Chains A and B, each alone.
Chain A
Amino acid sequence: MLSRIAESLFWIGRYVERADGTARILDVHLERLNQMPLAQQRETSRQLLGVMGSLPEKDDIDLSDLLQALAYNRTSATSIAGALGAARENARRARETVSSSVWESLNTTWYGLTQHRKDVVGTYRFCHWVVERTAMIRGLSDTTMSHDESWQFLVLGRSLERADMTARMLSTHDVHAAGLSWVNMLRCAGAYESFLRTRRASFGDQQAAEFLLLDRLFPRSIVYALGDAEKCLTKLNPAYQRVGFINDATRIVGQARTFLEFHQTQDLMSELPEHMDRIQKACARASDAVSRTYFSQADELSWVGEVS
């Protein structure tokens, strides 16, 4: 398939997942932020924005800044509206490759963005709506697109973004003393019920972290998401060699996953922010490696008027 289209699909996967993850994180954090005294609210908002990678210039951040940065800013790829807009724009460029139901659901979502109230109360509904819409887009892409190369690129983008999101989510835990409880952390990942069913009563920070980092059966755990990314990379590269890895992306993702798997949970916990930072960097490097391998265009054409 065309490199340009593959790139678009990869980014549709990433952006849709980003909108979903951000909506979940925002929803849970808002609930907690609303219960805080103002000064603490500002401090926590600031830290949250830092972790999500969209720290504004100014110091005094209030809730409306937070909503703007994470939910409604259409020009920033970190916000939900920006990510959905970018996903829709990518789909518009790859319209003949994504199925029409995927395109339509993205397009309708994009038009729906304007219909939501931009205050705190409206944002709960907005987040809920985004989680539903993105689930629908994911479902439609899984059931109406052939699981060929194009779909693999979409899922690759989705998996890398998902690993990155969960790592960010876990980073918000330890940023300061009054961090989110693990219950809320699990809720951010939509993992609370699965966690309870899996671990029953044995309930503690360590088990919760372990679940989000290492559970092999929960789709938003980092190990699961990285494993998905690896599977896509393998399918995209049929010339898998007997010795060594042929491409950088596979190596980077594999390293990150095995690093987590071969460590004791308590060792990971003691330096959680550093490890989560490492995971985020690995996702970024893998994304770059995928670009270099599959999407790179030859040098941009520039024709100067040297023709008669």
Chain B
Amino acid sequence: MSELFADYPAAARKTTAFDEMFDAGYLPRTEYGQVAAALDALNLADVTARADSMARTFLDRGVTFDFAGEERPFPLDIVPRVIAGSDWEVLERGVAQRVKALEAFLSDVYDKMTVVSDGVIPRQLITSSAHFHREVAGFAPAGGVRVHISGIDVVRDQQGTFRVLEDNVRVPSGVSYVLENRRAMAKGLPEAFGQQHIRPVEEYPRRLLAALRKTAPPGVEEPTVVVLTPGVFNSAYFEHTLLAGLMGVELVEGRDLICRGNRVYMRTTAGEQRVDVIYKRIDDEFLDPLQFRADSVLGCPGIVNAARAGMVTIANAVGNGVADDKLVYTYVPDLIRYYLGEEPIIANVDTYRLEDAPAREEVLDRLDELVVKPVDGSGGKGLVIGPDATKAELDILRAKVLEDPRGWIAQPVLQLSTVPTMSGGQFSPRHVDLRPFAVNDGEEVWVLPGGLTRVAMKEGSLIVNSSQGGGSKDTWVVDGEVRGPADVPQERPAVTVRERTSVWPIETNWQDKQSEQQQQ
């Protein structure tokens, strides 16, 4: 390997984590063959120049997230994360299975609650969830789907086995980086693409739009779809514009909408136009001041009533948060067995429920060894990693857990798998996770091949969130067989000869030469 990898084995030996690129003997795994060969040919100056140009492109294109009022590019590392087709096939089925179970769970929770009466899950657990909204209980959403879009976070443990870390079925974000990263990588490291077949990602917007249209309220012939954003200051605003742009639909803010007679309209230059499907990218609490926070101006008053009347589809449905409550997460394997009658394809990470007294006692004894997370947190907020925390921090945590055991879960510190990442002039192992995105149109759950690989840029850090300095990697699903040049169809396009223009000296000369030769 090139000198950029000289110190890699030494650094990798420091952790017990599974390395995605190298096997135990520090040889590149099969699926990484092409990438390893491409990197091998580069020196530090090449890699730096390419990384700089990729970063510059992101800034110019405005591929940024908003952090404390500042637009920052989401750093993209030059080494892709590669997943073998066979591994992906399992993940794909596992994610789809999980989405189906969560969908069934949500429609049950807001209806008959058989899952409670059958004793699978305690009633208390649901009713005490901060994201269980009685406002939307007792009716089926227009179009019949609640989890249109989901992002199921998975990680690889020390053995290399994929495990689900959490479910995101409210407003999972990050898919825009999947699309942009691929474009940037194609320009930044074209050699690595080579002859192998990398499954394309650009299908996502089309799939999303199709699913949104398919789940429109019944009887609407040509549904009008919009993306609802909180506005330009939201951290994911770039994503909202990209998705609306790629789907060719309007990106609306709450103030563009108006509800009348249980119908939703948007204000256009040609008057009001009816809206049938809203891909909502704002939190439930801000959606409708009549139902939730009365002081919110991000949403539109009356929108929940319109959904209740079946006049508008909201994706993802209001109240989905109860399914990604981290305490509910601990029951998802049971939910899969209960609703689908199948065994879970991807396992959960082992999790302690701090409500149970024995588990709580054990966890409080071992706080310095575990990760403790708030059940309704997102973006890594409030999470405490025991081994990295000070005694004072652990004491505060202990008090918080005792005060509200329902609000917390604990998990063993998982050595997330690592991928070589450019840092300080060489490649070093950095921990990654993976967020595959799934789109559900009510009949089929389609999983975007790849998803977003987030990487912790600091050595040893397990926190991959963008708001905490994380970056990302392009994620490739590589199909097994490597295509040789012989497999590529050798069809030649027909050549159209342009009409000769009056001034074309080169051609004249060339013809002269030819005729001269003929004369000789």
Contact of A304 with B by CB under 8 A: yes
Would you give the shortest CB distance from B350 to chain A, in whole angstroms?
43
Which A residues have a C-beta under 8 Å from some C-beta of B?
Answer: 1-6, 92-93, 95-97, 100, 103-104, 107-108, 111, 149, 153, 236, 294-295, 297-298, 300-307
Cross-interface CB contact of B256 among A2, A100, A107, A303, cutoff 8 Å: A2
Question: Using Cβ atoms and an 8 Å threshold, which residues of chain B touch A236?
Answer: 269
State whether A4 and B62 are in contact (beta carbons under 8 Å apart), knowing that A96-B241, A303-B295 are contacts in the complex: no
Of B78-86, B243-251, B352-360, the segment with at least 4 beta carbons within 8 Å of chain A is: B243-251
Residue of chain A at shortest CB distance from B247: A96
| A4:B255 contact, CB within 8 angstroms | yes
Question: Using Cβ atoms and an 8 Å threshold, which residues of chain B touch A108?
Answer: 60
Cross-interface CB contact of A301 among B60, B241, B269, B301, cutoff 8 Å: B301
| A306:B256 contact, CB within 8 angstroms | no
Would you give the shortest CB distance from B490 to chain A, in whole angstroms?
34
- Taken together as a complex, chains A and B put the C-alpha atoms of A72 and B441 apart, in Å, by 51
| B289:A298 contact, CB within 8 angstroms | no
Cross-interface CB contact of B255 among A1, A92, A149, A301, cutoff 8 Å: A301
- Taken together as a complex, chains A and B put the C-alpha atoms of A173 and B62 apart, in Å, by 42
9 A-B residue contacts at CB 8 Å? A2-B250, A2-B266, A96-B245, A103-B62, A108-B60, A298-B267, A300-B255, A302-B297, A303-B294
Cross-interface CB contact of A95 among B245, B255, B258, B297, cutoff 8 Å: B245
Question: Using Cβ atoms and an 8 Å threshold, which residues of chain A touch B232?
Answer: 92-93
- Taken together as a complex, chains A and B put the C-alpha atoms of A297 and B252 apart, in Å, by 13
Would you give the shortest CB distance from A233 to chain B, in whole angstroms?
12
Question: Using Cβ atoms and an 8 Å threshold, which residues of chain B touch A307?
Answer: 289-291, 294
Contact of B268 with A by CB under 8 A: yes
| B258:A149 contact, CB within 8 angstroms | no
Bin the interface of chain B by size. 20 to 34
Contact of B59 with A by CB under 8 A: yes
| B250:A1 contact, CB within 8 angstroms | yes
Give me the 8 closest cross-chain CB pairs, A-B, nearest first.
Answer: A96-B245, A95-B241, A96-B244, A305-B294, A303-B289, A294-B269, A108-B60, A96-B241
| B266:A107 contact, CB within 8 angstroms | no
- Taken together as a complex, chains A and B put the C-alpha atoms of A305 and B250 apart, in Å, by 30
Contact of B14 with A by CB under 8 A: no
- B253-305: which residues lie under 8 A (CB-CB) from chain A? 253-256, 258, 266-269, 289-291, 294-297, 301
| A6:B297 contact, CB within 8 angstroms | no
| B269:A92 contact, CB within 8 angstroms | no
| B258:A298 contact, CB within 8 angstroms | yes
Residue of chain B at shortest CB distance from A108: B60
Residue of chain A at shortest CB distance from B246: A96
Cross-interface CB contact of A107 among B62, B252, B291, B294, cutoff 8 Å: B62
| B60:A111 contact, CB within 8 angstroms | yes
State whether A104 and B268 are in contact (beta carbons under 8 Å apart), knowing that A4-B253, A93-B232 are contacts in the complex: no
| A297:B255 contact, CB within 8 angstroms | yes
| A92:B62 contact, CB within 8 angstroms | yes
Question: Using Cβ atoms and an 8 Å threshold, which residues of chain B touch A153?
Answer: 269
| A3:B267 contact, CB within 8 angstroms | yes
Question: Using Cβ atoms and an 8 Å threshold, which residues of chain A touch B500?
Answer: none
| B253:A107 contact, CB within 8 angstroms | no
Residue of chain B at shortest CB distance from A91: B62
Contact of B13 with A by CB under 8 A: no
| A4:B256 contact, CB within 8 angstroms | yes
- Taken together as a complex, chains A and B put the C-alpha atoms of A276 and B269 apart, in Å, by 31
Question: Using Cβ atoms and an 8 Å threshold, which residues of chain B touch A111?
Answer: 59-60
Contact of B61 with A by CB under 8 A: yes
- B35-91: which residues lie under 8 A (CB-CB) from chain A? 59-62
| B301:A2 contact, CB within 8 angstroms | no
- Taken together as a complex, chains A and B put the C-alpha atoms of A212 and B61 apart, in Å, by 38
Question: Using Cβ atoms and an 8 Å threshold, which residues of chain A touch B245?
Answer: 95-97, 100
Would you give the shortest CB distance from B290 to chain A, in whole angstroms?
6
- Taken together as a complex, chains A and B put the C-alpha atoms of A305 and B59 apart, in Å, by 41
State whether A3 and B256 are in contact (beta carbons under 8 Å apart), knowing that A93-B232, A149-B269 are contacts in the complex: yes
| A100:B61 contact, CB within 8 angstroms | yes
Question: Using Cβ atoms and an 8 Å threshold, which residues of chain A touch B255?
Answer: 4, 297, 300-301
- Taken together as a complex, chains A and B put the C-alpha atoms of A300 and B301 apart, in Å, by 13
Cross-interface CB contact of A96 among B251, B269, B291, B296, cutoff 8 Å: B251
Residue of chain B at shortest CB distance from A304: B294
Question: Using Cβ atoms and an 8 Å threshold, which residues of chain B touch A103?
Answer: 61-62
- B303-355: which residues lie under 8 A (CB-CB) from chain A? none
- Taken together as a complex, chains A and B put the C-alpha atoms of A36 and B155 apart, in Å, by 71
- Taken together as a complex, chains A and B put the C-alpha atoms of A264 and B136 apart, in Å, by 72
| A297:B289 contact, CB within 8 angstroms | no
| A6:B59 contact, CB within 8 angstroms | no
| B59:A301 contact, CB within 8 angstroms | no
| A1:B268 contact, CB within 8 angstroms | yes
- Taken together as a complex, chains A and B put the C-alpha atoms of A107 and B294 apart, in Å, by 36
Would you give the shortest CB distance from A109 to chain B, in whole angstroms?
10
Question: Using Cβ atoms and an 8 Å threshold, which residues of chain B touch A100?
Answer: 61, 245
Would you give the shortest CB distance from B133 to chain A, in whole angstroms?
15
